[in-house]
Structure 1
Amino acid sequence: MNFSGDDMCHVMAMPFPGRGHINPMLSLCKFLISRKPNNILITFVVTEEWLGFIGNDPKPESIRFATIPNVAPPEQEKTIDNFHLFYEAAMTKMEAPFEQLLDQLELPVNVIVGDVELRWPVDVGNRRNIPVASLWTMSASFYSMLHHLEVFSRHQHLTHDKLENIPGISSLHIEDLRTVVRGDDPQNIQLSLECISKVTKANYLLLTTVQELEAETIDTLKSIFPFPIYPIGPAVPYLDLEEKKNEKH
């Protein structure tokens, strides 16, 4: 297949290095390829460790894996107690090798799809004048809660007793937020909110949900942000499941 020409769109996909993020990103990429198989090339970026995990998985020819070094702790060493070390490494040590890889690609990149849980893809795209679509791999409601929490935290010191004052968050979700703030490492919360804050500088926000399921939340987010927000549906490997189903028949 010829991957050159003016009509080719080159997408660089950068998931957070975890299965709950890599799988949805890869499912999205396979769906994009299925829509325009001759016009999209996707460079899917993973660490060398993760290439060992998924490198042999079936994928369309238009999706090519590319690697950056293992700058984060090994996956088997990641635990609840030391997750902040893994999280911080993903925030601070992956950006430079990602940019080096970006410089080495033969075909110019037209758009970056970056996981929201990485705070730097938006900055990289802005510096290089490459549009960035931020992908959120959890519910739109949870994203909305974290967005309002981030806005609130910029103006007030974040404490448990002040959470009920966050605008845009229903009383039903306040206890969920309290659980997050109480149960998570403060460093993780701070890093997560920094990631959320970067979305305002993206060009698109992709939500792994459907409009009918979270219509009110999605419409509220669309009224907040000046750029397009797309509910892309559940990012599960349903295309692979459909292929296996058809093979049986």
Structure 2
Amino acid sequence: MEESWKGHVLLVPYPGQGHINPMMQFSRRLISKGLKATLVNSIFIAKSMKLGSSIGPVHLDVISDGFDEEGFPTGGSSELYLEKLEAAGSKTLSELIVKYRSTPYPIDCVIYEPFLHWVLDVAKDFGVMGAAFFTQPCVVDYIYYNIQHGLLSLPITSAPVSIPGLPLLEPRDMPSFINVPGSYPAYFKMLLDQFSNTDKVDYILINTFYKLEAEAVDTISKVCPTLTIGPTVPSRYLDKRIEDDDYYNLDLFTLHASISTNWISNKPPRSVVYVAFGSISNLCEKQIEELSWGLKNSNYYFLWVIRESGQINLPKTFMEDLGEKGCVVGWSPQVRMLANEAVGCFLTHCGWNSTIEALSLGMPMVAMPQWTDQPPNAKLVEDAWKVGIRVKVDEEGIVPRDEIECCIKEVMEGEKGEEMKKNAKKWRELAIEAVSEGGSSDKNIDELVSKIIKFKN
């Protein structure tokens, strides 16, 4: 096999679950096109997960984030983490590229998440191609582009916000770093820095598909060499062209998949509400209480994915009274659950991976955004794609139980819910079309692969 590789791509995601998964899936897509793909994790992630040299056809390697033994600093300082990640990451990434130069398959292209904008500088220092892989939707990426280039001034003093190529946005529709000025300044700077050196990039790759965000893609393409290459969802659920590809197979959290699959196996079609808020979001105790009773009062079956740190805040009698009506787990194989015919609704924080998985699987949503890109994603879910309903918060920022119950019932059985289901089915068909042979994303991936092969030769 090694003799037949047409080129070697190094993929460098930000070290987090929601960032590794799409890169892992894109690696498989590139391999199916004849490239060798090596996915890079942090030393800490590789050690804690006891990762070997590969997962299926995807090769694995490591760089340092500066915290090889303990992972993210115990003090929780994002500034310190990002500072050390850049320093240690730049050094060890350089060493990795040098290592592969002495093998029969040197690195031809580095595909990196632009949260790590410094990766492009390393790639260009070694004279290899560099492609930025954006793991948020094009609409959100272009908002940050406008801020970074001084086209949108902060703080925002009038509404709605009008940005060419994007829908009109109210303050609550903007990324949380903009809507709540001064929140998480290190992460906000990281997001703006995504575009700090893209004038040197060979391609910008976005995990979306053209028909989903056509106007935004056309607009950003005028200023950046942009290719839509998504959705990066396992092939089994879309075009079925990659063998044995039904899950990402790299979980940073303990996964007991059998709990979810066994519980859901005897539930009637479209009777279950699947509830998950991703790998980072933490709901406060009051919100967990309101969500608990909202789910229970809806009288639907529900499968709730909530980490153990959140489970301790569940109401005291909640678990005892569940019976077969609900199942609470710490982690779950989400894409498999969304593909299960028993699931009829996804109550989600609207992280981009969750959102595009739901769109790809034709799943209507109750949108309950928390932070970062989730508010604009929820805006798109409700108003642009019309595949879900967004919850309303009270004056304390809490979504009350009655609102949760009402939104679930609207999606599961209401008149608007029927329209959402039809729209969700349409977007699923368009997602399949995009990655199938000759589709927009498939053609774009072919263009990228062709450029890498030409560069190698």
TM range (shorter): 0.7 to 0.9
The residue type paired with residue 14 of structure 1 is V
State the alpha-carbon separation in 2 of the partners of residues 163 and 108 from structure 1: 51
Q: Secondary structure at the match of 1:142?
A: helix
Aligned counterparts, 1:205-244, within 5 A? 205-225=204-224, 227=225, 229-239=226-236, 243=244
Offset of 1:170 from its aligned partner?
4.7
| Cα distance in structure 2, aligned partners of 1:45 and 1:210 | 25
- Deviation string 1:95-123 (CA, Å, 9 cap, x unpaired) is 11110111111222111111111011211
Indicate yes or no: 2:185 matched with 1:186: yes
Q: How far, CA to CA, are the matches of 2:208 and 2:45 in structure 1?
A: 26
Change in CA separation of 1:175 and 1:78 when aligned onto 2, cut-off 3 Å: farther
Change (3 A) 1:92 1:244: closer
Question: C-alpha separation between the residues in 1 aligned to 2:62 and 2:17?
Answer: 16
Cross-structure match for 1:67: 62
Percent of counterpart pairs with the same letter? 21
Task: State the 1:175 CA deviation.
Answer: 4.2
Q: What amino acid sits opposite 1:92 in the alignment? A: A
Equivalent residue number for residue 103 of structure 1: 98
Contact 1:149–1:166 at 8 Å: present in 2 too? Answer: no
- Structure 2 residue matching 1:212: 3-state secondary structure: helix
Deviation of 1:188 (Å): 2.1
Report the alpha carbon displacement of residue 48 of structure 1 after superposing the two structures with TM. 1.7
Higher share in helix: 1
Alpha carbon RMSD of aligned pairs, Å?
A: 3.1
CA distance in 2, matches of 1:164, 1:93: 42
TM-score, normalised relative to structure 2:
0.46
Give 1:164 shift.
Answer: 7.1
**Cα distance, 1:120–1:9 mapped onto 2, change above 3 Å:** same
Which residue identity is paired with 2:228? P
Offset, 1:224: 1.6
Paired residues for 1:44-193 under 5 Å: 44-52=39-47, 53=49, 55=51, 59-61=55-57, 63-72=58-67, 74-75=70-71, 82-105=77-100, 106=103, 107-152=105-150, 158-161=154-157, 167-168=163-164, 170-172=167-169, 174-177=171-174, 179-181=176-178, 182=180, 184-193=183-192
Separation in structure 1 between the aligned mates of residue 14 and residue 94 of structure 2, nearest angstrom: 15
Q: How many residues align?
A: 234
Q: In the TM superposition, what whole-angstrom CA distance separates every residue of 1:30-81 from its partner, at most 9, and x where no partner exists?
A: 1111232xxx2122211122224272697333x21111235147457578x6
The alpha carbon displacement at 1:237 in A equals 2.9
Q: Name the SS of the counterpart of 1:152 in structure 2.
A: coil
1:187-223 CA-to-partner distances (Å, cap 9, x unmatched) read 3212221122222321001111111110000011111
3-state SS of paired residue (2:188)? helix
- Say if 2:40 is the partner of 1:41: no
Q: In 2 relative to 1, CA 46–59 (structure 1 residues): closer, same or farther, beyond 3 Å?
A: same
Q: 1 CA distance for matches of 2:122 and 2:161?
A: 34
AA of the residue aligned to 2:125 = R
- List runs of 5+ in structure 2 lacking aligned partners: 247-457
- Secondary structure of 2:131's partner? strand
8 A contact 1:13–1:112 mirrored in 2: yes
Question: Which runs of 5 or more residues in structure 1 are unaligned?
Answer: none
8 Å CA contact 2:40–2:62 kept in 1: the answer is yes
Residue range with higher mean Cα deviation, 134-143 or 45-54: 45-54
